[in-house]
């Protein structure tokens, strides 16, 4: 696909927004589990504080969906800070779980940094990011079948 294609910009920013929203929801679910039934998750850093971070992630993801470039910058800053935090903890504790969290946050940061130029192109053309979700398409297709 052509790199300059408007559809590519729409999809790149939309996928970044969906990724941030998904990770926010996942963090909230894991935090609720840590607060209610799982001490193992509570020892890994989930809890009330991470519920607030998850809500903030969701808000940033929806901000990216509605073409607010400062939400994109804030999401990049958040995931970069989380990456640095997990890298620091990884040097201290050397666990595979911290490695996974570090790699995930670094990958999301990289994807969001790639979306900066696409966000500027969307703003210039007055186009919104792709709000399509493959998971929801799959569920709707299954229900109608």
**Pick from 2-11, 30-39, 61-70, 118-127: least confident:** 2-11
Q: Specify burial of residue 145 (Cβ count, 10 A radius: 0-12, 13-18, 19+).
A: exposed
Tell whether 1 is covered by a domain: no
Alpha carbons 57 and 86: distance in angstroms, whole number: 17
Q: Which domain holds residue 86?
A: 6-144
Tell whether 55 is covered by a domain: yes
Domain count for the chain, please give it: 1
pLDDT at position 137 over 90: no
Q: What is the mean pLDDT of residues 72-99?
A: 93
Tell whether 117 is covered by a domain: yes
Tell whether 108 is covered by a domain: yes
Return the pLDDT at 1.
43
Task: Kindly report the pTM of this predicted structure.
Answer: 0.83
Alpha carbons 75 and 129: distance in angstroms, whole number: 16
Tell whether 67 is covered by a domain: yes
């Amino acid at each position: 696909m052509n790199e300059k294609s408007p559809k590519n910009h729409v999809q790149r920013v939309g996928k970044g927004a969906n990724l941030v929203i998904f990770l926010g929801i996942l963090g909230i679910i894991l935090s609720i589990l840590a607060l209610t039934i799982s001490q193992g998750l509570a020892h890994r850093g989930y809890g009330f504080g991470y519920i607030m971070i998850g809500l903030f992630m969701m808000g940033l993801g929806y901000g990216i969906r509605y073409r607010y470039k400062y939400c994109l910058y804030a999401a990049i800053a958040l995931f970069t800070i989380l990456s640095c935090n997990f890298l620091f903890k990884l040097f201290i504790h050397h666990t595979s779980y911290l490695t996974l969290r570090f790699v995930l946050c670094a990958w999301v940061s990289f994807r969001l940094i790639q979306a900066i130029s696409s966000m500027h192109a969307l703003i210039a053309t007055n186009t919104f990011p792709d709000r399509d979700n493959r998971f929801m398409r799959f569920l709707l297709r299954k229900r109608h079948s």
